[in-house]
């Protein structure tokens, strides 16, 4: 069943509200990027106004602007050794808690922040939960512009038909000055193996497969949430 956009917004909002309850006074918080993360950031802004003391690291310039407008204190990512909690969105996730991220083009900083984070909380509306990764959403890949043609050819050899992302008739440029390829691999059956192969391509800065980086996924389901915890074996 299709979820209407207002129903999706409600689900994003309830997931965001549930996620902010994990934040504690004195923590360093990673702030994700995208419409779902924005709900959490606005909620964190309210908590800060009511006395919550945190320091935040944004995953994009856009998120930084929003956080600053809400008077959330921002710190440099290099001023800490780790981040306590990050709340971020996703474009897709599967039963193994593998994510595809990068729809907003912030995947590089998002992956760095996720890697620095002790408790990574992913929030999503129910449409993001998929049985087969990669079918509905292409895999974003950040590339150095100088290497884009070479990287595209390498990605095609791995089975991914790709295009350079355009926005408003212009090449989309990331916060780091790079470009994004959107690669269609069809159903990504073995994300780990694809991730390893992509990581070997010179000039490819980052890809949007997030593996073993989510500790908790909170999915909005109507007016309520389902919380999925990463199980360590
Ligand atoms: C940005 C991302 C976002 O988390 C992802 O695109 C989801 O966005 P939204 O919450 O607007 O659906 O990865 O790079």
State the residue range of the domain holding 160.
139-206
Tell whether 106 and 36 lie within a shared domain.
Answer: yes
Tell whether 44 and 22 lie within a shared domain.
Answer: yes
pLDDT confidence of residue 2: 63
Question: Sorting pLDDT into bands at 50, 70 and 90, what band is 53?
Answer: very high
* Domain assignment present for 79: yes
**Average pLDDT of span 13-42:** 98
pLDDT confidence of residue 231: 78
In the predicted structure, residue 51 carries a pLDDT above the cut 90: yes
Tell whether 12 and 115 lie within a shared domain.
Answer: yes
Rounded distance, CA 47 to CA 198, Å? 40
Atom of ligand 1 nearest to the CA of 128: 12
Q: Which of 34, 124, 133 to mutate to test the pocket of ligand 1 (most atoms within 8 A of CB)?
A: 34
Tell whether 123 and 195 lie within a shared domain.
Answer: no
Q: Are strands 209-210 and 99-100 parallel, antiparallel or unpaired?
A: antiparallel
**Order of all β-strands in the sheet with 179-184:** 161-164, 179-184, 139-143, 204-207
Tell whether 97 and 23 lie within a shared domain.
Answer: yes
Tell whether 38 and 122 lie within a shared domain.
Answer: yes
Rounded distance, CA 135 to CA 13, Å? 26
Q: How far is the CA of 2 from the centre of ligand 1 (A)?
A: 19
Minimal-distance CA residue to ligand 1 atom 1: 104
Helix ranges (H only) for 26-183 are: 35-49, 61-69, 107-116, 148-157
CATH code of 176's domain: 3.30.70.260
Ligand 1 residue neighbourhood (C-beta within 6 Å) = 32-37, 88-91, 101-107, 110
Rounded distance, CA 92 to CA 158, Å? 21
Q: Which of 40, 101, 208 to mutate to test the pocket of ligand 1 (most atoms within 8 A of CB)?
A: 101
Rounded distance, CA 119 to CA 174, Å? 26
In whole numbers, what is the pLDDT of the chain averaged over residues? 97
Tell whether 24 and 101 lie within a shared domain.
Answer: yes
Q: How far is the CA of 148 from the centre of ligand 1 (A)?
A: 23
Tell whether 156 and 124 lie within a shared domain.
Answer: no
* Domain assignment present for 134: no
* Domain assignment present for 31: yes
Tell whether 92 and 19 lie within a shared domain.
Answer: yes
**Average pLDDT of span 41-54:** 98
Measure the N-to-C terminal CA separation of the chain; round to a whole number of Å: 34
Indicate the number of domains in the chain: 2
Q: Name the phi and psi angles at 191, rounded to 5.
A: -60, -35
Q: How far is the CA of 107 from the centre of ligand 1 (A)?
A: 9
Q: How far is the CA of 89 from the centre of ligand 1 (A)?
A: 5
3 state DSSP class of 167 = strand
pLDDT confidence of residue 173: 98
Tell whether 24 and 67 lie within a shared domain.
Answer: yes
* Domain assignment present for 96: yes
The counts of H helices and E strands in the chain are 6, 15
* Domain assignment present for 161: yes
Per-residue pLDDT of 106-133, as tens digits, reads: 999 999 999 999 999 999 999 999 999 9
* Domain assignment present for 83: yes
Tell whether 125 and 195 lie within a shared domain.
Answer: no
């Amino acid at each position: 069943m299709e979820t209407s956009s207002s129903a999706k917004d409600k689900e994003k909002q309830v997931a965001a509200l549930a996620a902010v309850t994990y934040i504690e006074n004195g923590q360093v918080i990673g702030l994700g990027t995208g419409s779902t993360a924005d709900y959490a950031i606005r909620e964190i802004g309210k908590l800060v106004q009511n006395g919550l003391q945190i320091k935040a690291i944004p995953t994009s310039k856009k998120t930084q602007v929003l956080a600053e407008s809400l008077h959330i204190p921002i710190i440099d990512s290099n001023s800490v050794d780790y981040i306590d909690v990050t709340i971020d969105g996703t474009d897709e996730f599967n039963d193994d808690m593998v994510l595809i991220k990068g729809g907003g083009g912030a995947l590089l900083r998002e992956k760095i922040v996720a890697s620095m984070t002790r408790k990574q909380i992913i929030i999503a509306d129910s449409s993001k939960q998929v049985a087969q990764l990669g079918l509905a959403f292409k895999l974003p890949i950040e590339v150095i512009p100088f290497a884009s043609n070479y990287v595209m050819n390498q990605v095609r050899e791995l089975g991914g038909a790709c295009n350079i992302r355009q926005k408003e008739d212009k090449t989309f440029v990331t916060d780091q000055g790079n470009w994004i390829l959107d690669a269609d691999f069809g159903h990504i059956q073995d994300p780990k193996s694809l991730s390893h192969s992509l990581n070997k391509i010179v000039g490819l800065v980052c890809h949007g497969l997030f593996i073993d980086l989510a500790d908790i996924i909170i999915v909005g389901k109507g007016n309520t949430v389902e919380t999925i915890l990463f199980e360590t074996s």
